[in-house]
């Protein structure tokens, strides 16, 4: 079969823009972490913690995670289907509209146009933009799969398809709202119903944006980097069905001990614990694929990123179910433990896999070898250490504050006022600033390495051919 | 079967996703916010309060403050009666939050007088030393738009009087957010039912004990000085230089407060600390 | 036992059976080649 003429141009663009929005998210993250320790750094009305924190999360999720997902999916779908993208024009529109959406999102959030719903703060006109963007993306991916020239569908394609329908359903149902004016709306649901719908969305956004796509990337990039196939395709199939089935039941573990009916909470608890199985199915599949290849951890920087990334996925999916248990949640919920949990996932798992995938793609879409492997190694250690400082200090902070909140005197009164517990957080919050800056520095090294690759990287004849042919 | 049929795979994946969705997200609509969990005393927000709520949302207060109290001992002690589903039926959207960088606000309504909130919003650290909350004094510079608020009330279908809309003229965003905070958690008479009675004869365990004065002063600075002044000169609350009453009576005042007049009860901090404060206050009053 | 409980148990059991069938189907000797081939094919290009 002759080599298909792949569209690599669009992949390049999405890599670039995904990284730009990732950098924005991380920089805003460092700024809000500083605002936590120094309130004078709030500059009202636009630059206060309350408005910047949603910008940090939205740029991270919709800019960085979704941006790199677009890049990787558009690349993988062509390779796995051995055919060019269904529509170059639609992909070009998707790129243009993606940036328009993220820019609109950033501006409206700073202007205070927000629905208040975590990870779904965007007001209704921006919501509609997100939906249009996703539909454009979905059509292109699905049509490419349908007209594929490779009969087999590799597991990455399965996760891509699940992510595409999952995000669509979640985003539209949770986004139901009644407009009041151009940038103000009221939720279609009220109170406890609204909470239940929203955390059904909130937790499954984690499933469909921050779990399924990185898994699709992991299953693709790991065998491609090591040169040996994954341990078991059948195991990945069982894990796939179990994962997408079980995830949807677990949203209410964000609402333990709230007025949401007890039976929903109990179901969420049970399914959260059961989710360990499919999550670790993927982790084991990754580890077992390394049999006889562990030496590559030393020799191949890509493998290091991927295996440490999947390890944090494994830790994340053990810690998550633990937090989803009522007794533990009673202690730890609402403290800094929770952001630490999220950041192990985003900095240790999602970003680690995204960085590896981009390192894998860049030589293939630019036709140049990576500028510097030592710099990639430096990048690895900086983001690993930065993340560990960030998360470990806030786990300690969370346990400390939870302990103080629940401490009582012998006469049954509370041992500490709220402020007495809050001021104890300052040293740990400073540690977080420090960890975040190290992580940011790692990302700057990454960007420098990529820029130098496109300018000075050694031209690799084989990949250059595809890169040049791929120009639209 | 589905391994080579993308459309079938999409359909089956959607079905797998929908099972849990139907059970845990769609079915609950049959139980939640029905007559069974309505509470008669819970009323919709009035125009000023609703506008305050929208400002609370705009400023992202929910990023640091939760609005739901769990049925756990120390949580009820700290914040008040646990939250009931029926208290939130007019909340669109819900604002329960997920992180307590600041304290929970589900029952902040009526805890402090309005003056406390104005001063605190303007300068949080003037009231709560070492707080990391941003200043919100600038809200005072923004006047409300009565017509826009009326439109919002119509969309929500909440009842209002023309007089309430007229009264919005000249009011600013600070007035609105304070009105909103003062409404929170007051839909049920939980303060009445949670009142603790002091029974039996009260005896000051630190009678004439001057060694606890420093501890009492520290407690005063932490809990009282923001309203009564660092030198007991009074500000939001009255001056405290003339406290000619038995120790037991002063203890009762600290224990129960005057919730109607804006003085919160301090029963939750415990009798030991209350007696130390009594000693400090009586000793200061003597000089 | 009331009808609701029987219904819940039935649904749970039904879902479990579906799971068992998926596992059996996926791991059946007959389908081994079909379900493992993709992991080799994906290494082919480049």
The structural domains of chain A, with segments of one domain joined by +, span 1-151, 334-472
CB within 8 Å: C15 and B19: yes
Cis previous bond, C34, omega within 30 = no
- Note whether residue B1 is domain-resident: no
Please provide the DSSP assignment of B72-102 as one string.
Answer: -HHHHHHH-SPP-GGGGTT-SS----SB-SS
Q: What is the spatial distance between Cα A119 and Cα A98, in angstroms, rounded to a whole number?
A: 17
- Total of domains in chain B: 3
B230 shares a domain with B175: no
**Residue A300: both structure tokens together:** 């191949």
- Note whether residue C46 is domain-resident: no
Quote the pLDDT of residue A461. 64
- Among A71-75, A308-312, A447-451, A464-468, the least confident range: A464-468
- Of the three residues B193, B224, B255, the one that is the final residue of a domain is B193
- Is residue A3 within 8 angstroms of chain C, CB to CB? yes
Angle between helix A276-289 and helix A233-246 axes, rounded to 10 deg: 160
Q: Which of C23, C41, C46 sits opposite A152 (nearest CB)?
A: C41
B33 shares a domain with B130: no
Instruction: Report the CATH number at residue B98.
Output: 1.10.760.10
**Residue A455: both structure tokens together:** 């300018």
Residue B245 gets the label, from left (phi > 0), alpha (psi -120 to 50) or beta, of beta
- Total of domains in chain C: 1
- Note whether residue C13 is domain-resident: yes
- Of the three residues B167, B193, B219, the one that is the final residue of a domain is B193
B176 shares a domain with B87: yes
Residue-range definition of the domain harbouring residue C8: 3-41
Q: What is the spatial distance between Cα A433 and Cα B115, in angstroms, rounded to a whole number?
A: 35
B14 shares a domain with B60: no
**Between residues A287 and A461, which one has the greater pLDDT?**
A287
Q: How far is C25 from chain B (nearest CA, A)?
A: 10
- Note whether residue B234 is domain-resident: yes
Q: Cβ contacts of residue A263 below 8 Å, gap of 6+? A: none
Residuewise pLDDT in 10s, chain B (287 residues): 788 899 999 999 999 999 999 999 999 999 999 988 899 999 999 999 999 999 999 999 999 999 999 999 999 999 999 999 999 999 999 999 999 999 999 999 999 999 999 999 999 999 999 999 999 999 999 999 999 999 999 999 999 999 999 999 999 999 999 999 999 999 999 988 877 777 888 899 998 888 999 999 999 999 999 999 999 999 899 999 888 899 999 999 999 898 888 899 888 888 899 999 999 999 888 76
> By CA distance, what is B17's nearest residue in A?
A245
CB within 8 Å: A237 and C35: yes
Q: Which of B10, B134, B268 sits opposite A39 (nearest CB)?
A: B134
Residues of A with Cβ-Cβ distance to C27 under 8 angstroms: 234
Residues B6, A161: contact at Cβ < 8 Å?
Answer: yes
CB within 8 Å: B3 and C25: no
CB within 8 Å: A82 and C45: yes
Tens digit of each residue's pLDDT (9 = 90 or more) over A83-128? 999 999 999 999 999 999 999 999 999 999 999 999 999 999 999 9
- Note whether residue B150 is domain-resident: yes
Quote the pLDDT of residue B4. 87
CB atoms within 10 A of CB B118: 17
* CB environment C24-43: b (16+ within 10 A), e (fewer): eebeeeeeeebbbebbebbe
Nearest to A359 by CA among A303, A440, A286: A303
CB within 8 Å: B1 and C15: no
B183 shares a domain with B126: yes
């Amino acid at each position: 079969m002759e080599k298909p003429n792949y569209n690599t141009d669009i992949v390049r663009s999405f890599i670039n823009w995904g990284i730009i929005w990732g950098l924005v998210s991380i920089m805003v993250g460092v700024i809000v972490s500083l605002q936590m320790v120094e309130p004078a750094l709030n500059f009202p009305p636009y630059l206060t913690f309350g408005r910047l924190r949603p910008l940090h999360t939205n740029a991270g999720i919709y800019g960085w995670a979704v941006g790199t997902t677009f890049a990787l999916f558009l690349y993988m779908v062509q390779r796995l289907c051995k055919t060019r993208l269904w529509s170059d024009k639609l992909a070009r529109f998707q790129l243009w509209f993606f940036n328009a959406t993220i820019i609109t999102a950033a501006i409206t959030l700073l202007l205070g146009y927000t629905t208040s719903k975590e990870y779904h703060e965007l007001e209704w006109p921006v919501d509609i933009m997100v939906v249009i963007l996703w539909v454009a993306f979905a059509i292109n991916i699905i049509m490419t799969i349908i007209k594929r020239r490779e009969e087999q569908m590799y597991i990455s394609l399965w996760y891509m398809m699940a992510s595409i329908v999952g995000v669509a359903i979640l985003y539209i149902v949770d986004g139901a709202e009644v407009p009041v004016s151009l940038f103000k709306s009221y939720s279609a649901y009220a109170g406890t119903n609204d909470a239940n719908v929203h955390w059904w969305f909130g937790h499954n956004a984690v499933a469909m944006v921050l779990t399924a796509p990185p898994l699709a990337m992991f299953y693709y990039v790991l065998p491609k980097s090591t040169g040996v196939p994954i341990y078991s395709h059948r195991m990945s199939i069982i894990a796939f069905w179990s994962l997408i089935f079980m995830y949807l039941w677990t949203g209410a573990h964000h609402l333990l001990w709230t007025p949401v009916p007890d039976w929903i909470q109990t179901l969420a608890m049970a399914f959260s614990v059961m989710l360990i199985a499919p999550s670790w199915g993927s982790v084991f599949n990754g580890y077992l694929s390394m049999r006889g290849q562990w030496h590559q951890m030393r020799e191949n920087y890509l493998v290091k990123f991927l295996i440490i990334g999947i390890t944090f996925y494994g830790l994340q999916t053990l810690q998550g179910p633990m937090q989803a248990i009522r007794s533990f949640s009673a202690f730890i919920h609402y403290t800094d433990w929770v952001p630490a949990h999220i950041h192990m996932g985003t900095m240790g798992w999602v970003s680690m896999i995204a960085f590896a995938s981009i390192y894998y793609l860049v030589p293939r879409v630019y036709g140049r070898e990576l500028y510097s492997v030592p710099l990639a190694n430096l990048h690895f250690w900086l983001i690993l250490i930065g993340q560990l400082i960030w998360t470990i200090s806030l786990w300690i902070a969370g346990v400390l504050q939870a302990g103080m909140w629940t401490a009582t005197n012998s006469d049954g009164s509370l041992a500490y006022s709220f402020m007495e517990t809050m001021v104890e957080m300052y040293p740990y919050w400073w540690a977080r600033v420090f960890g975040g800056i190290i992580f940011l520095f790692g990302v700057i090294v990454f960007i420098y390495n990529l820029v130098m690759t496109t300018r000075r990287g050694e031209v690799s004849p084989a990949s250059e051919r595809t890169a040049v042919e791929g120009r639209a | 079967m589905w391994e080579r049929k993308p459309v079938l795979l999409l359909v089956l994946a959607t079905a797998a996703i929908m099972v849990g969705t139907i059970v845990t997200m769609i079915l609950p609509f049959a139980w939640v916010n029905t007559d069974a969990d309505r509470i008669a005393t819970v009323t919709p927000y009035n125009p000023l309060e609703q506008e305050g709520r929208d400002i609370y949302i705009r400023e992202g207060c929910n990023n640091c403050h939760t609005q739901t109290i769990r049925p756990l001992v120390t949580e009820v002690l700290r914040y008040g009666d646990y939250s009931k589903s029926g208290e939130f039926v007019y909340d669109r959207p819900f604002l329960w939050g997920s992180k307590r960088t600041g304290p929970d606000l589900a029952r902040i309504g009526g805890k402090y007088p309005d003056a406390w909130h104005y001063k605190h919003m303007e300068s949080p650290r003037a009231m709560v030393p070492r707080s990391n909350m941003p200043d919100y004094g600038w809200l005072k510079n923004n006047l409300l738009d009565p017509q826009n608020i009326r439109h919002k009330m119509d969309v929500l279908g909440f009842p209002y009087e023309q007089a309430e809309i007229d009264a919005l003229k000249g009011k600013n965003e600070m007035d609105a957010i304070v009105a909103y905070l003062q409404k929170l958690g007051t839909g049920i008479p939980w303060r009445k039912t949670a009142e603790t009675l002091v029974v039996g004869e009260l005896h000051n365990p630190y009678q004439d004990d001057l060694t606890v004065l420093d501890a009492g002063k520290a407690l005063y600075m932490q809990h009282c000085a923001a309203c009564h002044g660092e030198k007991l000169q009074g500000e939001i609350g009255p001056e405290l230089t003339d406290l000619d009453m038995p120790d037991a009576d002063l203890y009762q005042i600290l224990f129960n407060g005057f919730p109607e007049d804006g003085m919160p009860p301090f029963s939750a901090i415990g009798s030991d600390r209350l007696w130390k404060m009594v000693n400090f206050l009586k000793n200061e009053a003597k000089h | 036992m009331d009808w609701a409980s029987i219904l819940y148990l039935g649904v749970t059991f039904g879902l479990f059976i579906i799971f068992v069938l998926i596992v059996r189907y996926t791991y059946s000797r007959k389908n081994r080649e079909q379900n493992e081939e993709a992991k080799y094919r994906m290494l082919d290009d480049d």
